[in-house]
Amino acid sequence: MSDDWRKELKDVRVLFEKIEAAGYRTQAHGRLLVDRAQQANESLVVLEGELPKYEKLAPESTEIANALSQTTAWLAFVKRQAEESIALLPDTEKGLQSAASFAVTGVTATNTLFLSFASAVNLAGTNNPRLARIFEEFDLADLTILHDAEDSNELSLLLTREDPGLEKARLGAWETLASDSSDALSQAAHSMREVLRKLIAKYASNEKVMSWTVPGSTQV
């Protein structure tokens, strides 16, 4: 048997490890944005309440009057910094959303592969009595279990946004899988293949894929 899948699996694992690391970095930057914005707003609320008091004191103190005279310039500087930060946010947010979409698709494809093997195991056990206890005999993991509920929730949101019917089909696949039907695995895998087929037909049709790879072609 070819070992190509071993190299591919290792390469994909390295890529998702990089995605995870990037996610932690992004999470840290996002947390920093939230914290600093909250701190700034808290300071501005205090200033808004306190500055009128210092205005009353200004006639009695040259130092306070000098500090007040710089307030407008400092606020203008703060405003420019906030505007620069906001100007960078839309592109960053769009890029993050796109990156997350590809990562979620990768997770979905991985789970579909799990279902494919689980279905094959079920059929093997059904067609060959000797393999009736195939999971125990070969110490196979239960590939029908999704290991990350957060990924599943994010996938649910993305599919619903794309087409509520796709999310309904995905949930139906899992309901079928949990049923007592003798061919539950194969039916569930078929439903998930249909979900992927519709997404591929929309975003990665033969024409589109050819336009990505054939020199001189025009992308659709």
pLDDT values of the chain reduced to their tens digit, one per residue, 220 residues: 456 888 888 999 999 899 889 888 888 888 898 899 999 999 999 999 999 999 999 999 999 999 999 999 999 999 999 999 988 887 787 788 778 778 877 777 777 777 777 777 777 767 777 766 777 777 777 665 555 555 566 777 788 888 888 888 888 887 787 676 777 778 888 888 888 888 888 888 877 777 765 555 444 4
Looking at the structure, tell me whether residues 45 and 137 fall in a common domain: no
Asked if the structure places residue 134 within a domain, the reply is: yes
Alpha-carbon distance 101 to 93, whole Å?
12
Alpha-carbon distance 192 to 169, whole Å?
7
Dihedral over alpha carbons 158, 166, 102, 215 (to 10 degrees): -140
Check: CB of residue 16 under 8 Å from CB of residue 104. no
Looking at the structure, tell me whether residues 99 and 173 fall in a common domain: yes
Asked if the structure places residue 84 within a domain, the reply is: no
User: Whole domain around residue 202: which residue ranges?
Assistant: 93-220
Looking at the structure, tell me whether residues 58 and 109 fall in a common domain: no
Asked if the structure places residue 82 within a domain, the reply is: no
Check: CB of residue 112 under 8 Å from CB of residue 196. yes
Which residue's structure tokens are 């089909």?
169
Alpha-carbon distance 143 to 105, whole Å?
18
Total number of domains in the chain: 2
Asked if the structure places residue 80 within a domain, the reply is: no
Looking at the structure, tell me whether residues 100 and 209 fall in a common domain: yes
Asked if the structure places residue 25 within a domain, the reply is: yes
Against a cut of 0.85, is the pTM above it? no
